Every structure is written in C-alpha cells, then in structure tokens.
A and B are shown apart, each in its own frame.
Chain A
C-alpha cells in the first residue's frame, strides 16, 4: 500500500455516547488517497456510528476531522455530501411516498430549477442516466420508491451517492443487501474510485469480501480502535482474532457431509405454486429435521417464494400444505398458528416494530402463551423476551430499549428471538445471517443445527452460496421463479456447480 502523500481525511479522537452506551471511544484514523479501507468489528462495535459522524448525520461528542487539510465539520448528510463525502447507509435510506428521482436528488433540487419550481423532465432524465450507469435500467425515475424491492431501493441510494461525484465514499454494509449483480456494480464503482485516486471506506461482515475489496482494514471492538492491518495480515483468521478475540471459531458450518433427515416424514408440501410471474410452478417438500437450502439471485423469485410458503400471498394457483393435520396454509396467521416462522430479508420494514421496545418486538408471537383465563400474561411475555435477549446476547441497555436504537446485527437477533420465543417447528429463514458478524453467524449456524437436532425443519434461503452449501441437507436452485436444479448434501458440491444453474 503506497502510503505516500498526505492523508485525505484525518479523524482524531472521535467519541460518541448514547446515554451510558459508549458507541465510539477515542477512535482515530487516517484515510489516504486511492485507498479502500475496510472497517470491521462485531455487531454494535461502532462502525455505523463512526461513519455516521464522518458523513454528518451524527454530531460527535468529542474529536475533530480534517479533510484535505481543512477542518471538516459537516452539519448534515447533505452538507457532507456537498463537501465531498457520501455514504451508502446500512439501513433503509430512501423515503417512502417520494419518487425515485426525488429520492435520488434530495437536497439538491436546486440543480434542476426550472421556470416553475423543479423541472421534473430534467430530473428524470438525469436519474435515468445515472441508473443506467449503475446497470439499474429496470428502475424508473418517476415511480414511487416504495414500489421497489429492498435491493432496488439500495441502488437508488447508490445513484444518489454517485451523483455528487464524491471524493470519499462510505459503504456501510450495502453489499449484503444486494444481488450478486448489484454487488458487482459496487465493486466496479470502488475500482473506479481507486483509479481516480479517490478513497472508499468499506464496512462489512464478510471477511473474504473485505480481503478482496480492501487494501487495509481497521478493526473496532466495543467502540474502541484495535488495529489497522494490511497485506499478509489481512486474512480471515487474523481479522476474527482481532474482532472477537478468538481466531478459531471451531466449526463454522456443519461438519458432517451426508444428507441427514427423515426422508419418510414430509412436514410441509408445496404443490404447483404460481404467483404473478415471479413464482412459476414451484413444488417442494420439506422433511422433518431437514435443512432445505434455497439459493438463487435476489431477483430469482426466491424471496417471494419464502413469503408464499408463509401464506403471505394470495396465490394464483397451487397449495401449501402442512402435513401434520393436512391443513392448507392460506394466511400468515394460520402459518404462525401451525408453528411456521418467517424471517424476512428486509427486516426493518417487514419484521421490526421500530419505535417500540425490544421486549414488545420479541414477545409479539407470545400473546397466546400461558394466558390467565382470557387475558394475556404480560409477566410471562416479559420473561420470554428477557430470556431470548440473553441467550442471543443482544447488545442493549435493557429490553425496554427501542429496537430502532440497536445496531443492524442486533436488530436481526431481535427478529430471530421473536420466532425462537414462539417455538416454531418450521422456520423459513430468508438471508438469516445478513448483516451479522462472524461470531454471531457461527452462533446462528449452531442454533440452526440445534433446531434440526431438536426435530425442527428449516428452509434456508440465501444468496450466499457458501452458507447454503455449508448448511443444507438438500439444496434447490431457483431461477426466473422456477426450480432449476436439486442437489443433495455432498462433500464435492462447489459454488461453481450452483452458479451454472443460477445464471
């Protein structure tokens, strides 16, 4: 790494507290021109908080920043963007009820001044141009942003960040929300930044990705700076060591390489499902104690399939049947009653109650447990929530804290906790480890294995092929809404074999 020249951005002694939570403590770092810097650490280690301070959305309690030799004190995200630092947020950064173009140019409407206020045509044309550059031609500038899926909304944010042609780009866990293709676009953008001698801060939990994308990586732990590593040192084991204090996590995925489930006992059967044109004649069987992996690109229809299996869609045709009692699943209420759980990919808008306590978020599935006559048992619900928060090790000040205040990974744990509390028998997990740090990831895989051992059945949908190969007994590949292939668990199964079917 050529550390020649002066650093472009110097961050010195930054701290940020939320009440007694010391989210960031005395962190300093220097970012050089042409550098792609990884920022890694466990869930809640302060990565997002630090980047929020750099990009102007949070005021630091202490510390100073210098950007290109000048003191840098951004007043807001928009201010920072105008000064040359843009961010791709971890959480949803688009505003519902506004069009794609309006979202893209928020705070910069002046650039499109026409005779009568904003010149929409001009705005839409520019938006179209940018969307084309990032390969998102399927997104239309005039549409409401809510009409689009999570991945597409992220791409709108990418467009917004690029519009101002920033000198420094912060990418906060954006790639985990994108499809393979979307990721490629981001990698291209990063390469482009490097070529132009600009800098990137890249936050993520996928250590292989960090290794490939970044020149150096800075590790945070409990809000404190730990180390900055580069070159040879930047290997997953070393990074894990610095992040969580243990290099070896023992086994990560399953250690057995045989499909191992009860072939005779089908617990859930889907027959000839059709929904609009996103699910095409999909049939599948889930067996007792089986981990059924489903993988495909994010626009393959697999996320819709997950919802359909959970009864969330009014299908055009086909049935989902729970074999124990031969009941057809036609609504989410019934699915939950039959002990099916669903962890959506877009947890913020589909699973979490944001400005509501962690307790209420977890216990939402427990209203029918241990009732006192006709009344709900609040004490029991509180106890269950407390147990889950503890066993999942959710980093919070108390279970009365609002879910909105948690770090991304901890939010995901809340969602997991809510279904654990319901003691579901069949779990449909859509990207269950998205945004979760390696330590917790291992814990979640462990949990999945435990659930399997306890007789539960799991459908695990993921865009990360390694994790599906590592965990599934049987694996379905989805493309264009239809099942393209089926694989049994095998030592020789490689990502390559799947990719052939996926693309």
Chain B
C-alpha cells in the first residue's frame, strides 16, 4: 500500500519537472544558438520572473479553489496609481506604492468575496475590464514615464533577486504559516474547515491580499522593465492560470496545491512561448498551442478526479 501510494505521489509530483526538463532539452536541441544566446536567456529570465511572481500570489487563491482573474488588472491599476496619479513620485517611493495599491486591491476583493458574496472570478473580470479601460484613457494622449532611479534597476540581477525573494517568501507563507495551509484545507472541504475552527473568511481575505501584494511587486518589476505606462500592461490572467496548471496546480485547489507549481509552470510556459517564437510560429498560433496545452491538462486532471463520486 505504502509503496504504491508513494510511487503514485512521486509520479504526480515528478511529471511537471520532467516536462520542464524535456522542454528545455528540446529547446536547446532545436533552438540551438539563438535559444542559448545571452540576450534570449536574459529575456526568458525577465519574462518568467514577472510571471512567476504573479503566479506565486495566485497560488494562494487557487489553493482554496477560486480562480484569480484579478492579478493582471491589479498590476495595471497599481501602475496607473503610482505613475499617473502620483505624478513626480520620488524613485524610492515607487516600490512601496505599487505594493500598497496591489495589497489594497487584494484586500478589497477579499471583502467583496467574503462579505458581499460576489464570486471571485466575477470580481476579477471586473477589475480586469476596469484596469484596461483606465489604462487606455490615461495612455491615450500622454506618456507616463517612470522616475529615472527606477529605470536604472533594469538589470538581470534585479529580476533574479526579486523573483528569488518572492518565491522563498511564497514558500514560507504557503508551507509554514496558516495562510497557505488553511487555504489548502478550505479547498478540500470548506465546511469541515469552518467546523474545525478555521476562520474561513479571514483566510480567504489573506489569500486575496497575498495575490494583490504579488501583483503589486510584479507591477514594480514591469515598471522597471518598460520604464513607463503602456496600454497593454497587465494581461497576466490567462498566462498565470496556464502556468500554474502546467506546474501541477489542481483547478479545484486542495491538498495538492503548491508554490512549486508556480515556479515550474512559469518557467515552462515562458520557455514554451520563447521556443515557439524562435521556430517562427506566428503569435496567434502560439496562443492556440497554449490553449491546447491548457485544455489537455484540464482534461487529465478532471479525469483523475472522476470515479470518486461516492468517495
């Protein structure tokens, strides 16, 4: 019994790793020089680090079984507030400002979901729309640049350090505090969680706050990268969902949720994107491929849960 269960456990955790390694090998083999070029690798790192930070936050929300469609919109709003509303903000204040706005939006979502009982997914959609509309109107006639001190940070080590810090913090909060652990249990059985003394609403709010905070950090990273506000800021909702699923995050949350899924998934999705572009696949088709990968994974994971109707 033990052996078999352990093997099953091992395989299900190992699959995402194996997939990532295979993907990298294929990329090196087929992409060759252009894949391994320093500039390309730097690109992959920058892109994946931002996606990873967003996904780490989203993992907390997905742990309890909600879809998080607010992360991209939160990023956009954090940047608008920081760069446009607080015009002429000193360089040092950009980071805390992004963080504060992101967290604030997260907490607000938490209250909407827990107090007013709005479905998280719907709130996310609204924030996404709101953000893109505001971004469009603010960037329509004017360009908003980030303070020079912020743009100076645009170096590989910056992304690496921030990403590493966020991943470590994510693991600590997910695995070694009640925030992550309770959200997983809520994902398994909300009723039992509540009747075991878990303050369900409080921990749901924490999870949305975590997601908002990470989106705030990602907003700062994006500011550094792009040096200003652009109308396409954000747009991370679907990519984080796909990345987390590739990394092995169950869509219903629960005990198999992990930060590992965010890390592996973000890397894999970025590499996949990159190699498809190197192969000369056109951008629309890249989206088709991503969609197919996602659908396949969803099918596999729902197949695993089938046949347990009466538990």
Footprint of B on A, CB under 8 Å? 18-21, 57, 89, 91-93, 95, 307, 310, 312, 331-333, 335-337, 342, 344, 348-357, 360, 364-365, 367, 374-376, 378, 397-398, 400-402, 404, 418
Contacts and interface: CB of A to CB of B under 8 A. Distances in A.
B188 interface: yes
Given A332-B197, A350-B192, A356 B185 contact: yes
A376 B181 CA distance: 10
B10 interface: no
Contact of B310 (A93, A342, A375, A418): A93
Contact of B196 (A92, A351, A355, A374): A351
B197 A352 contact: no
Contacts of A374: 177
Given A353-B255, A356-B254, A397-B1, 6 more contacts: A91-B311, A310-B195, A344-B195, A351-B192, A365-B197, A397-B2
B108 interface: no
| Pairs of residues from A and B, 3 with the lowest C-beta to C-beta distance, nearest first | A336-B197, A19-B1, A397-B1
A400 to B, nearest CB: 7
A360 B255 contact: yes
Contacts of B6: 400
B100 interface: no
B4 interface: yes
B165 to A, nearest CB: 17
B190 to A, nearest CB: 10
B1 A337 contact: no
A19 B5 contact: yes
A356 B177 contact: no
Interface residues of B, number: 32
A310 B194 CA distance: 11
A354 B197 contact: no
A89 B310 contact: yes
12 contacts: A333-B197, A348-B311, A351-B192, A351-B196, A357-B255, A365-B196, A376-B177, A376-B181, A400-B5, A401-B1, A402-B5, A404-B308
A19 B3 contact: yes
Contacts of A402: 5
Given A20-B1, A335-B197, A376-B181, A355 B192 contact: no
A18 B1 contact: yes
Interface string B181-208: 1100100110111111111001000000
A86 B5 CA distance: 31
Contact of B5 (A91, A349, A397): A397
Interface of B: 1-6, 172, 175-178, 181-182, 185, 188-189, 191-199, 202, 254-255, 308-311
B172 A342 contact: no
Contacts of B191: 349-350
Contacts of B175: 378
Nearest to B180: A376
B176 A376 contact: yes
A352 B192 contact: yes
A93 B199 CA distance: 29
A349 B189 contact: yes
Contact of A19 (B4, B182, B188, B189): B4
Contacts of B5: 19, 397, 400-402
Contacts of A400: 2, 5-6
Contacts of A21: 1
Contacts of B178: 367, 376
Contacts of A348: 311
Contact of A336 (B3, B196, B202): B196
Contacts of B193: 353, 364
Given A336-B196, A375-B172, A397-B5, A354 B189 contact: yes
Contacts of A404: 308, 311
Nearest to A368: B178
A355 B12 CA distance: 15
A315 to B, nearest CB: 16
A378 B176 CA distance: 8
Contact of B195 (A351, A356, A397): A351
A355 B254 contact: yes
Given A21-B1, A352-B189, A312 B194 contact: yes
Nearest to B197: A336
